[in-house]
Structure 1
Amino acid sequence: MMDRKVLPSNPLDKRHLGESVGRAMLSQPAIPLQGLRAFNGAGIYAIYYTGGFPCYQPISERNRNARFEAPIYVGKAAPKGARKGGELDVVPGKVLHNRLGQHAKSILDASNLDLADFHCRYLIVDDIWIPLGESLLIAKFNPLWNKLIDGFGNHNPGKGRHAGLRPRWDVLHPGRPWADLCQPRDETASHITREVSDYLRNNPPLE
C-alpha cells in the first residue's frame, strides 16, 4: 500500500492569505451606504440589500434583522498607481470611499431602488491584497450583481462613446442618465427578472 502524500501547510499560500483578507472584511460592521462619512484608503467591500424588490427576496431575507449574510455585490478600489506596478507606497487617497459613493449615486438614480435599503462592509488593505481578496469573496458568495446582472459598477463611457449595449443592470434598474444613451438590448426587465429568479433558485445565498 502506497503512503498517502501529504502536502505541508503553507501559511503564505495565496489562497490562505486571500481568505484571511476576506475574513477580516466580513468581520467589519455593516453600515448604511447612505451618508457614508469620508475616509482615506483603498481596499475591498461588500454591499448588502434588504429591500422589497420582488425577485431579490431570497437575498433580502438573509440580510434583514442585521444578519447581513448575502452580499449582492462585491468590489474593490485600488489606487491608480497600483495598476502600473513597481510602486509599493502609492498614496490611495479616498479611493475606496469614492467608489462606494459612485455606487450610492447609481442606486439613487435607479427608479426602483431605495438607497436606505443598502448597507456595506469594507476593509482598508494594502493594494497588493486587493485583487485576491475580491476574487475569493466573489467565488465564495456568487453575488448576483457580479455573476448575473452586469453593469452596476460601470462608469459613464463618456461623450460619443455610447455605442455599446445598455448594461443589464440598467435594464432592470433604469434611471442612470448615461445608460439611457446606450443602445437598447433585446432583453427586457421581465426577461432578466425571470433569470434572477432561476439563478437564485439554483444558487441560493450561501448558508
Structure 2
Amino acid sequence: MTIRKIIPFNPLDKRHLGESVGQAMLQQAVTSMTDLKTFEGAGIYAIYYSGGFPAYEAITQRNTNGKFNAPIYVGKAVPKGARKGGDLESSPGKVLYNRLTQHFKSIEEASNLDIADFHCRYLIVDDIWIPLGESLLIARFDPLWNKLIDGFGNHDPGSGRHAGLRPRWDVLHPGRHWAEKCQPRMETAEQIICEARDYLRNNPPPEDSLLINA
C-alpha cells in the first residue's frame, strides 16, 4: 500500500502570504477610473476593461453587469527608494494614486480607447508584501497588458533617449506623444490584434475573480 504524503499547511509560506494579499485586493470595491479621489499609500492594483475594442472581446465578456473578473493589467506602486532600502517608517506619499493617475493619462491619450470603459481595484499594502501580491495576481490572471502587449506602464524615457522601439501597446493604441518619438516596429496593429485574440483563446480569462488557485 502506498502511503500518501501530506504536506502540512504553512500559513507563513510565501505563496500563502501572497494569496492573502491578492485575495484582499480582489475583495476591494471597484472604482471607475474617472472617479479616482486622491489618497496616500503604496500597494497593488488591477485595471479592468469593458469596452468594444476588437481585440478584447473575451475580456469585456468577463467584465459586464457590474462584475469585474478579468483584469487587463495588474501593477504595483512602491515608495520612492524602496528598491535601495530606506526608512521603514517613512510615509510612502501618494505613490499608488499617482501611478493610477499616470495610467489614466495614458488611456486618455490613446486615440482608440475610452477612459469611461476602465475601472480599477487597489489595495494599500505594507511595502514588504507588494511584490509578492503583484506576482501572484499576474500569475493567476495572465493579464493581456502584462503578458503580451507590453509598454502600458512605460514612462517617457526623456529627451534624447527615444532610440528604443515603440512599445507594442503604443502600436495598438497610438496617442502618447513620447512614444511617437521612439523607433517604429515592424509589426502592425492588425498583427498584434490577431496575437491578442489567439492569446485570449488559449488563456481564457477566469470566470471568478475571487478564486486564487493553490
On whether the aligned pair clears a TM of 0.5, the verdict is: yes
Partner of 2:60: 60
Instruction: Tell me which residue corresponds to 1:94.
Output: 94
Give the C-alpha shift of residue 41 in structure 1. Answer: 0.2
The answer to whether the 8 Å contact 1:150/1:167 transfers is yes
Q: Secondary structure at the match of 1:140?
A: helix
> What is the rounded CA distance, in whole Å, between the counterparts of 1:107 and 1:116 in structure 2?
10
Q: Which residue of 2 aligns with 1:77?
A: 77
Partner of 2:211: none
Structure 2 residue ranges without an equivalent (≥5): 208-214
Query: What 5-or-longer segments of structure 1 have no aligned partner?
Result: none
Q: Is the 8 A contact 1:47 1:121 kept in 2?
A: yes
The offset of 1:85, in angstroms, is: 2.2
Structure 1 residue 7 displacement after superposition: 2.2
**Cα drift, residue 175 of structure 1:** 0.2
Q: Tell me the secondary structure at the aligned position of residue 9 of structure 2.
A: coil
Aligned twin of 1:10: 10
In the other structure, the counterpart of 2:187 is 187
Alpha-carbon separation, structure 1, partners of 2:171 and 2:123: 31
CA contact (8 A) 1:82 1:90 kept: no
User: 2:86 and 2:122 mapped to 1: Cα distance?
Assistant: 26
Query: Partner of 1:30 in structure 2?
Result: 30
Please give the per-residue CA displacement for 1:83-107, whole angstroms capped at 9, x wherever unaligned: 1125322310000000000000000
Structure 1 counterpart of 2:123: 123
CA-based RMSD: 1.0
Q: Give how far 1:190 is off.
A: 0.5
Paired residue secondary structure (2:34): coil
Partner Cα distance (1:55, 1:4) in 2? 46
Q: 1:156 corresponds to which residue?
A: 156
The answer to whether the 8 Å contact 1:26/1:121 transfers is yes
- Matched length: 207
Aligned partners of 1:107 and 1:115 also within 8 Å: yes
Q: Which residue of 2 aligns with 1:201?
A: 201
Distance 2:145 2:9 in 1: 34
- Counterparts of 1:177 and 1:81, CA distance in 2: 28
